[in-house]
Amino acid sequence: MFERLEGIEERYSELESLLSDPAVVSNRELYPKYVREHAELGKIVEVYRDYRRVLGELEQSRELLSDSDPEIKELAKSEIDSLNSRLEELEKELKKLLIPKDPNDEKNVFLEIRAGTGGEEASLFAGDLFRMYSRYAESKGWEVEIIDAHWTDSGGFKEVIAMVKGKGAFSHLKYESGTHRVQRVPSTEAQGRIHTSAVTVAVLAEAEDVEVHIDPNDIEVDVFRSSGPGGQSVNTTDSAVRLTHLPSGMVVTCQDEKSQHKNKAKAMKVLRARLYDRQLQEQNEKISRERKNQVGSGDRSERIRTYNFPQGRVTDHRIGLTLYKLEQVLQGQLDEIIDELAGYYQAQALQNAEPQVAETANLDRS
């Protein structure tokens, strides 16, 4: 572990030299790349240098324990306790910083919401969830762009696919994949009975061309006229596009734009994101088989959250979190839930982190 930290510090120093090189500064591709890497490594190096400084102070305090002056010895003991506590804090911080960062965290996402069991009530709740995420995105300064949608006569969605554009969108929304359950009395229920419906949410990181190769010969393209709520035509030309990826059987449609070319480009982005997500799911399944305690497998068959209207309650079943703030949550105030989820999965990752930091520190203290 400390060899790794020393290697990071060496790379940090190397980057400092490179960033002062006029040839690098004038290079539009290398310079921003090195600046980002320097900033990321700088956080680790700062804590590591602080750790070594405290370790040095601890060694000096130990030497004072052999002093003949009782007051100095007592002062040294007190200082050692304080320094050991500080070392423990720094060890935890180093573990946290060394956890591999999710390479998708800064990416845009495709948000797919589909009505599940519950008929019309499920489609209405799909609309509620879409508005919830749209308001959350707005609070973050992100842009939401509908790619494809299938409305119901009551104003809900059978399915809606949207792109959320913004820095860190995936890092915040990646915990939302799964089955969302709603418990409420439908407006059509004369006897006031509570119904339970379900909606599935999928959050897919936008994939770059280099991450997923799609052979054009594997794509079947169909065009048709766009339709809106109730099935009425909203365009007089065949601008809507349906893509079928023959090897996987995946089908993507897009009818948001009036241009067939733009719809095809958007549909390709969705297809690429789905294929990329399938690759990640396959990797996660393989890792799960090899390591039972794999964190964050992203199993979308899991019931992750319940929205109970009679009690005004939202419960996230993964972390046992219950908030009596249903109205606020549906208005897009998701930070409290998402922060708790991020903390939970980070703690899980820390438990799986290499234990060498603590072991080495214990040797240093002995």
Tens-digit pLDDT profile for residues 231-285: 454 455 678 899 999 999 999 998 877 788 888 988 888 998 898 888 888 766 7
Among the ranges given (118-127, 140-149, 182-191), the one the predictor scored with the smallest mean pLDDT: 182-191
**Mean predicted lDDT score pLDDT of the chain:** 84
- Residues 65-74 pLDDT 10s: 888 888 888 8
| 86 or 238, greater pLDDT | 86
Residue 293: which pLDDT band, with cuts at 50, 70 and 90?
A: very low
| CATH domain 212-293 topology | Double Stranded RNA Binding Domain (3.30.160)
Q: What class has domain 2-98?
A: mainly alpha
pLDDT confidence band for 296 (50 / 70 / 90): very low
pLDDT beyond 50 at 52: yes
The full 3-state SS of the chain, as one line of letters, equals CHHHHHHHHHHHHHHHHHCCCHHHHCCCCHHHHHHHHHHHHHHHHHHHHHHHHHHHHHHHHHHHCCCCCHHHHHHHHHHHHHHHHHHHHHHHHHHHHHCCCCCCCCCCEEEEEEECCCCHHHHHHHHHHHHHHHHHHHHHCCEEEEEEEEECCCCCEEEEEEEEECCCHHHHHHHHCEEEEEEECCCCCCCCCCEEEEEEEEEEECCCCCCCCCCHHHEEEEEECCECHHHCECCCCCCEEEEEECCCCEEEEECCCCCHHHHHHHHHHHHHHHHHHHHHHHHHHHHHHHCCCCCCCCCCCCEEEEEECCCCEEEECCCCEEECCHHHHHCCCCHHHHHHHHHHHHHHHHHCCCCHHHHHHHHHHC
What's the pLDDT band for 1 if we cut at 50, 70, 90? Answer: low
| Residue ranges per structural domain of the chain | 2-98, 105-206+302-366, 212-293
Q: Looking at residues 309-313, what average pLDDT do you find? A: 96
Domain at 105-206+302-366: CATH code: 3.30.70.1660
State the average pLDDT over residues 335-358: 75
Does the pLDDT value for residue 123 go beyond 90?
yes
pLDDT number for residue 299: 42
pLDDT of residue 287: 46
Indicate whether 292 pLDDT > 70: no
pLDDT above 70: residue 98: yes
Is residue 329 within 8 A of residue 125, CB to CB? The reply is no
Closest CA to 298 of 286, 280, 315, 314: 280
- The Cα–Cα gap between 250 and 219 comes to 10
Residue 39 predicted with pLDDT over 80: yes
Task: Please state the pTM of the whole predicted model.
Answer: 0.64
Q: Is there a contact between 306 and 315 (Cβ–Cβ < 8 Å)?
A: yes
- What pLDDT, on a 0 to 100 scale, did the predictor assign at position 366? 42
CA distance 249 to 27: 43
> Mean pLDDT throughout 49-55?
93
Q: How far apart are the first and last CA of the chain?
A: 19
Q: Do domains 2-98 and 105-206+302-366 have the same CATH topology?
A: no
